[in-house]
Structure 1
């Protein structure tokens, strides 16, 4: 096991020359105009990825109702996007590390734009899901490369500051996503959720084309292509998809005991296991073993996986909870989720600023996990009778915890690398694990929701004619917009709402348990030095 960098002793200094012996430029130098334009481009990519993560959830019931979709199809509008992201992220990282960052970045922008067009023009749920999948194939590159490139063009010593600045863009997308998604779906058209992405992608593309000047990798293209881990890419894509698909439909489309669930799940696990052993062989592996050789890096990746599972699950199900259990309109639900969105944004900015000032991160991470676990656990108790001040207080606690972990988990992962050229890979691995966690979380939560809904609804007996559709759990999400307009006896209405609440409670239990595991794993993360001023081989190229 490789040794990890410990905090420097008094009088120690980090090397500040590159491999050619040329002194590195201090992080305090006056950055060129092109650097800031590149940073703006990365910020715009962060904006649209965070916007996409929060805007669809609030509009999902309305979309499902208008397109006559099922509950499984509505969940797959989110799962397909995350599946595309999770499968392509390691491929984008590996390809960009061998071929260079810009070509994969441009490819991801084009795919994202195409997916947005397909989504916006869809007239049924299968086409909408296909559009979201194509968007995910592009968003996989946008989400991971924005952070990888930021790691390329900044040193570890100055990076917390720029992580905080990038969080401002995430803030705009996270806060505006639910509100604009609700406004568009309720008063204009849900299709504009896709259309508004196009001008932002276009401007970001032009900025990166003219201002993002990265050092080239001095190898012939044919040599670069031969170095790619083609077999690893195929194994990961096949294994990840084969594992995620049955998790999403178990007990919803097919029973757990069905061969349609068990066979692909077992095949996926076997393929991913083969991948783990195979990755020892390639020189430029999809998942390089050297990234996983320290306790801190492994613990950071595990906590990143759990953080992604929590974050994306809550972004989808909290707005649905407010609409189904508290009987709010999409716009009201968007306003109700503002506390958690605002605090996630604020503390995703404050966390790196605190790390920048203190040069420490361990205690901050522990506090984040404690806040997250407590708030998720208490959400189990929230119902229609819970005072709003308590609901908002819980959201604030959750926002502080999740926001602190959002950017805070990146720092120890980057500090754990022994070779500065591996920083981009390390960042990419963390983002990959975070999104794979999101994929698993959404798939498992979808199964839990549908299974508990079906079981709970069967206890109510014969339903009034207006609500008989709920005997089919596949219609649960699509029925949410109608739920608040029902004119039913009070005891019947309370029973139906309680069925929805029971389904969400199953999800709260799952994410609380995962969050507790995340806290204990975070105790293994060591406090490492943040004083390196070296830049990677694909760092920002200074104008001549």
Structure 2
């Protein structure tokens, strides 16, 4: 739970600190990359962690991932430029990818299918707490200490997690004579990188018709074709294509991508709305996100209990996705006159909806996947979530930048508040329109996710562990 907390919190801890960071380092146009770089490398790493853990066991990889994450955190804390910070966030994501996928895989190894629903609910609550506590902690540290401490705070917590895991984590050792599919891992990394750059640059930094954007699109298609051909021939594919024969896996992975885009998009842009549009301080904007965290915690925990008792999950996740879509539509109506009570109610609804979905989707995939492929399947779902974080948030960042326009690269909340009243109001209106335009895009994303989930098989969970 502690390592899940660390990995999840660093997806969003920069959210409330971003206005200050990009203002100091003059990089508002690249703000989404503070989230995207982390999600991108986490996504690239997760298939390898999953497959290697199936082949050689989980423990050593788990401990190594913690160490990499802590080194990346320390480097982020000492970054002196926007470029350095983005690169160090990318390094940090390599460790975080292992923490997320191995935590969920280890929990599946030691629990029966029905017990997994309860534990996944708890982990979902932890993920929700971390995702929303990130902006709160980031805002407080940014305002009262320094934004650098949003990374330094990982060091003592990570050291505790490393010491405890080293002392008490005992898992069966396993070895496999097969080789690691390094070529497949490199190709899928290339696909994700091309898609992320395409989503981030197209229509903003470069025209859609530019040779670079066309080349990135063609590169993504070509690398995808090569990846499929390599995986079909590989002895130990990093992503076994046989997994896609299972409708639950295919639909679940696609839905997770969309839902992760919505969740990380909200966690990234709600603090921007609160600080740059309504004038909230960094710490206050974090506290104003508490309703989102409460909705997610309560929903994830209680729905996990219900799924354990009832032995079914499908209609919980469909309903949750629809609730989140309604909340996203309400987000898109917010402006400078929206009351705190109204925005808090929207956040509770959004958090409650997502709390019903994400971990139960992983449960669905783990339930229908053979035990020998469980690590690969779990890493694939985590990879899909990273695609939502990397590619999805890049798309939303491009929407934001496009609606905002040029000339705002160095704007901080303090600079806005220092403007004359007329100029301040105009600037706040501009930021409000740019952010709510992002929220409007979340509605079709979530509705598409709900449509995919309706097609899921309604599998009954059993009381004993599956060995198939």
TM-score using structure 1 length: 0.82
Which of residues 157, 160, 163 is equivalent to 2:120? 163
d(CA) in 2 for partners of 1:101, 1:156: 20
1:294-342 C-alpha deviation (Å, 9 max, x unpaired): 2222111111111111111111111111112212111121111110122
Residue in 1 aligned with 2:57?
100
> Any gaps of 5 or more consecutive residues in structure 2?
none
Residue in 2 aligned with 1:27?
none
Q: CA deviation at 1:536?
A: 6.1
Residue in 2 aligned with 1:437?
388
Which of residues 154, 158, 179 is equivalent to 1:197? 154
Q: How does 1:134-533 map to 2 (within 5 A)?
A: 134-219=91-176, 223-224=177-178, 226=179, 228-417=180-369, 419-454=370-405, 471-475=406-410, 478-489=411-422, 492-531=423-462, 533=464
d(CA) in 1 for partners of 2:386, 2:131: 17
1:127-184 C-alpha deviation (Å, 9 max, x unpaired): 1111111101111111111101111121212111222333453355345322221111
Q: CA deviation at 1:121?
A: 0.7
Residue in 1 aligned with 2:76?
119
d(CA) in 2 for partners of 1:70, 1:251: 18
Secondary structure class of the residue paired with 2:421: coil
Asked whether the 8 Å contact 1:151–1:427 carries over to 2, the reply is no
Asked whether the 8 Å contact 2:124–2:300 carries over to 1, the reply is yes
d(CA) in 2 for partners of 1:345, 1:273: 40
d(CA) in 2 for partners of 1:292, 1:341: 33
Residue in 1 aligned with 2:13?
55
> Any gaps of 5 or more consecutive residues in structure 1?
1-42, 455-470, 538-544
The 1:239/1:176 distance shift into structure 2, 3 A limit, reads closer
Instruction: Find out whether 1:65 has 2:23 as its counterpart.
Output: yes
| Larger gyration radius, structure 1 or structure 2 | 1
Residue in 1 aligned with 2:4?
46
Secondary structure class of the residue paired with 1:285: coil
Which of residues 17, 41, 48 is equivalent to 1:91? 48
Instruction: Find out whether 1:534 has 2:465 as its counterpart.
Output: yes
The 1:342/1:485 distance shift into structure 2, 3 A limit, reads farther
Say what the alpha-carbon RMSD is for the aligned residues: 1.8
The 1:209/1:536 distance shift into structure 2, 3 A limit, reads farther
Q: CA deviation at 1:365?
A: 1.1
d(CA) in 2 for partners of 1:175, 1:434: 17
Which stretch of structure 1 is more off in the superposition, 325-334 or 161-170?
Answer: 161-170
Higher percent of residues as helix: 2
